[in-house]
């Protein structure tokens, strides 16, 4: 089994590097689970190992892979253990690159009409998220999902509420910059804007990137994002209150939260349907709805004009069972990032606790792990105390926020006729 898990780990590492392969794995895993269900071979997988335990007819390389992945999934479930919650690993940071990324992150010139920066929707004062239920989006349209915090984004393997980017933060940066309803930036123009600013020219050089390019913008911003790592939470410091400690026990036990919220980020980074109510503002406000239509159209979602709900992870797989699934969010920095859920439908953490206490929302495809918890008032308070203990220092000082001014106009390149472009 260890051999299989090691092999699986290798696969995981491999798919970190390529979106295409990643998606294939993802879909294969889902398909394989379906296959197991239909053959009713789940028990066999759990109990046998030798020979051909699953009765799977091995046809192609991919199905072998599917079989092994399926095994991995089945075994980890059988063990009943979840990656433990704990402190986040330290990330090695290149200071010059991160400093450059910081200036870029707060620079409005990185959007099409130079009206918004990354920080417009990922505001340090709101824990690098946005206080509106739905992210503001690009001028001229709205958005259809809540802006997630980018704190700890560098520790994740899957990004966006629907997990549509599962490669790296470089791709994620490109997605945010170029997507028409987000920053609508033609990266060729972005490159030339950056090159026009002598401060950037020096910073790119100092960071070892040479001449500014859109490629290095997409490296520098992720480098900066690595600096946005939670720190000094009471949980990490081991200084939780008695109530929070009780809350942690509930989290791992009676509350069952650990089933999905596990590991250092307190997320399995997988998609689940918890039955969160739809945010009607997506559809009642044409500014939001247009972004939603554009997005689902682009994703190839069938019948996108008639959708009255956010299909979530279905965008990625186009498998019906994934409708309404969203990637489990991390639970760090919650103190600053209200409102909650993929569509901001739950305003306070207390309401979130109550939502799960009642077994989640209503959805025929809701995850079977969700059941009414029957928590007492005191238990809910403890759970809340634990959740609050997962938030660290607000990262709002100069160390993380670019507070320098940006020039109001682009500087002229002197002696233009005689210098190389």
Q: Alpha-carbon distance 285 to 407, whole Å?
A: 35
> Taking the CB of residue 333, how many other CB atoms lie within 10 A of it?
24
Q: How far is the CB of 183 from another protein (least distance, A)?
A: 10
96 is a site residue for another protein (CB under 8 A) = no
Does 308 bind another protein (CB under 8 A)? Our answer is yes
Question: What CA–CA distances, in Å, run from 163 to 312, 325, 363, 379?
Answer: 9, 10, 20, 32
Strand partners, 325: 312
Measured from the CB atom, the residue of 242 and 414 that comes closer to another protein is 414
List all residues 6 or more positions away from 43 whose beta carbon is below 8 Å from its beta carbon. none
The distance of closest approach from Cβ of residue 297 to another protein in the complex, given in angstroms and rounded to an integer, is 5
- Candidates 21, 96, 114, 350; binder of another protein (CB under 8 A) is 114
211 binds another protein (CB under 8 A): no
Does 358 bind another protein (CB under 8 A)? Our answer is no
DSSP state of 221: H
Cα(329)–Cα(333) distance, integer angstroms: 11
Q: How far is CA 350 from CA 1, 182, 261, 373, 381, in A?
A: 41, 31, 17, 14, 8
Shortest Cβ 124–another protein spacing (Å): 24
Assess 278 for contact with another protein (CB under 8 A).
Answer: yes
For the CB of residue 318, give the shortest distance to another protein in the complex, in Å. Answer: 18
- Residue selected from 85, 221, 248, 293 as contacting another protein according to rule CB under 8 A: 293
Q: Which of residues 161-190 bind another protein (CB under 8 A)?
A: 180-181, 184, 186, 188-189
Closest CA to 31 of 2, 3, 59: 59
Considering the rule CB under 8 A, would residue 294 count as an interface residue with another protein?
Answer: yes
Interaction of residue 12 with another protein, rule CB under 8 A: no
195 binds another protein (CB under 8 A): yes
* φ, ψ (nearest 5 deg) of residue 346: -115, 120
286 binds another protein (CB under 8 A): yes
Is residue 136 near another protein by the rule CB under 8 A?
A: no
Unique residue bearing structure tokens 């994002």: 225
Strands 271-272 and 326-327: what pairing?
Answer: antiparallel
Q: Which positions lie near another protein, rule CB under 8 A? A: 109, 111-115, 138-141, 180-181, 184, 186, 188-189, 191-193, 195-196, 275, 277-278, 280, 283-287, 289-295, 297-298, 305, 308-309, 324, 362-364, 409-413, 416-417, 420-421
């Amino acid at each position: 089994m260890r051999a299989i898990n090691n092999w699986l780990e290798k696969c995981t590492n491999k798919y970190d590097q390529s979106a295409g392969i990643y998606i294939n794995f993802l879909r294969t895993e889902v398909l394989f689970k379906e296959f197991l269900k239909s053959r009713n071979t789940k028990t066999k997988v759990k109990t046998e190992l030798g020979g051909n335990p699953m009765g799977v007819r091995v046809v192609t390389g991919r199905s072998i892979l599917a079989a092994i992945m399926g095994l991995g999934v089945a075994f980890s479930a059988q063990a009943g253990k979840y990656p433990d919650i704990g402190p986040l690993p330290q990330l090695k940071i290149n200071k010059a690159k991160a400093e450059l990324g910081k200036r870029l992150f707060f620079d409005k010139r990185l959007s099409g009409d130079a009206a918004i920066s990354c920080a417009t929707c990922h505001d340090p004062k709101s824990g690098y998220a946005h206080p509106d239920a739905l992210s503001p989006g690009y001028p001229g349209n709205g958005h259809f999902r809540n802006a997630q915090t980018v704190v700890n984004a560098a520790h994740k393997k899957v990004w966006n509420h629907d997990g549509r980017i599962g490669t790296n933060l470089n791709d994620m940066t490109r997605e945010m910059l170029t997507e028409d309803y987000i920053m609508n930036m033609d990266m060729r123009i972005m490159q030339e804007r950056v090159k026009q600013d002598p401060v950037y020219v020096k910073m790119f050089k100092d960071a070892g990137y040479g001449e500014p390019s859109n490629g290095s913008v997409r490296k520098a911003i992720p480098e900066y994002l690595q600096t946005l790592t939670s720190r000094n939470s009471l949980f990490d410091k081991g200084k939780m209150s008695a109530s929070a400690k009780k809350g942690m026990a509930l989290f791992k036990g009676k509350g069952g939260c650990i089933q999905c919220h596990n590991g250092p980020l307190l997320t399995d980074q997988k998609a689940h349907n918890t039955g969160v109510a739809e945010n009607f503002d997506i559809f009642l406000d044409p500014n939001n709805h247009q972004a939603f239509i554009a997005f689902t159209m682009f994703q190839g979602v069938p019948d996108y004009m008639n959708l009255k709900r956010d299909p979530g992870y279905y965008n990625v797989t186009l498998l019906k069972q994934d409708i309404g699934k969203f990637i489990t969010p991390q639970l760090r920095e919650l103190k600053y990032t209200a409102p909650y859920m993929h569509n901001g439908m739950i305003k306070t953490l207390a309401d979130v606790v109550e939502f799960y206490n009642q077994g989640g929302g209503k959805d025929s495809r809701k995850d079977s792990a969700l059941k009414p918890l029957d928590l007492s008032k005191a238990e809910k308070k403890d759970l809340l105390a634990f959740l609050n203990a997962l938030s660290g220092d607000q990262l709002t000082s100069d160390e993380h926020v670019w507070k320098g001014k940006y020039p109001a106009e682009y500087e002229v390149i002197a002696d233009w006729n005689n210098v190389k472009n």
